[in-house]
Amino acid sequence: MNIFLNKKILIYGLGKSGLSAFKFLKNRSNVFLYDDFKLSIKTSTIKKNLITKKKILNSNFDRIIISPGIDINNCKLSKYLETNYNKIYTDLDVFYEFYKNDCITITGTNGKSTTCQLLYKVLSNQKLDVKLVGNIGIPILSTKNIRKETIFVIEASSYQLEYSKIFRSKYVAIINLSPDHIERHKTINKYVKAKFSLLKNQLKGNLAFVKKNDVLINKELQSNKFKSKIIKVNLKKVNNFLNNVDNDYFKTETNKENLSFVLEISKKFNIKYDLIKNTIQNFKGLKYRQQVVSNSKYLRIINDSKSTSFSSSIAMLKNNHNIFWLLGGVYKKGDKFNLSKKYFNNVEAFIYGKNKKFFINKLKGKIKFNNFDNMSDALKKVFSVIKKKKFIKQTILFSPSAASFDAFKNFEERGSYFNKLIKKYLNGI
């Protein structure tokens, strides 16, 4: 019996995920909508289904579908949600109740989107019916034309997994783990548990791909028994594959890691390496994720706006030379800068923004740094230094190691702004 059919349902949070859940369920159940913030909604169908906080507190719902952005410990209905915790589900749960398609669900701290995109391209280029959904920007309940043969590649964040109860994925990949989103999860243990809920729900015969030498992953594996088969992904294997691939994108350790998982998962779909090479050869990556926006004889410029923690910046600091590193934004609680000393002389930091004191304290005594009020001033200084070192190959690395919400609505807007500044300053060289 479907637990979401013909039920009284509250959808809490009206972002992409919440609205897609409403469109999916509106003709299947009695659905009500609520958001903590006043929304400028023009659609009459949505307006008609909006409900006030007062009415919610006096109502009894069968199910509550919560959007990823809602933290039940820090929202207007916290007490109500706490009392009704057993009724809380996510869009992933709704999807699973209606469809039992093969899913490849990818999570981790860094590289989720790139791994998902790369895997999607590999599978679709083999003429498989595959859909790319989830945290990458396409809500899973917005998917059309689903057949029995359809395979789903799902990017899942800890926010999505935290409150999921019944969602099950035949294939799971945890590509890496490092402290992240502690402001939401409160402890690293709770963050890890949210990720590992995917393995907890797997059945015997299901497959879980995990990074072989990851401290947090191995600790969790040692502490729990899971029904699925655990496949530890050895990152060394990818180097042999890349010997026959000419794509600079895969020179960094991070992107090698992403590719390692794609290769291992592809084997389970009987896709031979020779058939993958063309896809890998032409893969350009995603915007604002280690994106090379300019590469000349003496200057390489990388836009890594998606970087929101020190751990996500480390790989780029290790794999480039003569680096002018731009960073700043909303720092992550508990974030640690762990770059090996041997790289310190290779990097000069240009810290910007109202939270610059945090980054100064983290980098003081380790690498040379400058600080500025904003990104534009920081870049202006970078280009003035570059002009004096014209005949040495240098790298401008925009890897903020922080969230964007101090000045931008998301990392995409931040990345776009950086690219506009680059065009301006390049014309002045």
Helices (H), 325-428: 356-363, 375-386, 411-426
Domain 291-426: which topology? Protein-Tyrosine Phosphatase; Chain A (3.90.190)
Report CA torsion sign: 152, 282, 425, 385: positive
Q: Determine the pLDDT at residue 42.
A: 61
- Beta-carbon contacts of 83 under 8 Å, excluding residues fewer than 6 positions away, are none
pLDDT at 212: 92
Residue from 131, 185, 137 nearest 158 by CA: 185
pTM of structure: 0.85
Residue ranges of domains in the chain? 8-89, 93-281, 291-426
Radius of gyration of the chain (CA): 23
Please tell me the CATH superfamily of domain 93-281, with its number: Mur-like, catalytic domain (3.40.1190.10)
Instruction: Return the bridge partners of 350, or none.
Output: 326, 370
pLDDT at site 56: 95
d(CA 68, CA 74): 13
Phi and psi at residue 263, to the nearest 5°: -65, -40
User: CA neighbours within 13 Å on the CB side: how many for 55?
Assistant: 8
Q: How far is CA 154 from CA 37, 92, 132, 151, 224, in A?
A: 28, 10, 6, 10, 24
pLDDT of residue 296: 87
Q: The domain at 8-89 falls in which architecture?
A: 3-Layer(aba) Sandwich (3.40)
Rounded distance, CA 134 to CA 238, Å? Answer: 27
Residue of 179, 198, 200, 202 lying closest to 189 (CA atoms): 179
The sign of the dihedral angle between the CA atoms of 263, 321, 357, 352 is negative
Q: Residue 40 has what pLDDT?
A: 64
**CA-CA distances (angstroms) from residue 32 to 8, 71, 78, 140, 233?**
8, 19, 18, 20, 44
* pLDDT per residue as tens, the chain (429 positions): 899 999 999 999 998 999 999 999 999 999 999 999 876 666 777 888 999 999 999 999 999 999 998 999 899 999 999 999 999 999 999 999 999 999 999 999 888 999 999 999 999 999 999 999 998 879 999 999 999 999 999 999 988 999 999 999 999 999 998 876 666 667 888 999 999 999 999 999 999 999 998 999 999 999 999 999 999 998 778 888 898 888 888 888 888 999 999 999 999 999 988 889 989 998 988 889 888 888 888 899 999 999 988 988 988 898 888 999 999 999 987 788 888 898 898 999 999 999 999 999 999 999 999 999 999 999 999 999 888 777 788 999 999 999 999 999 899 999 999 999 999 888 765
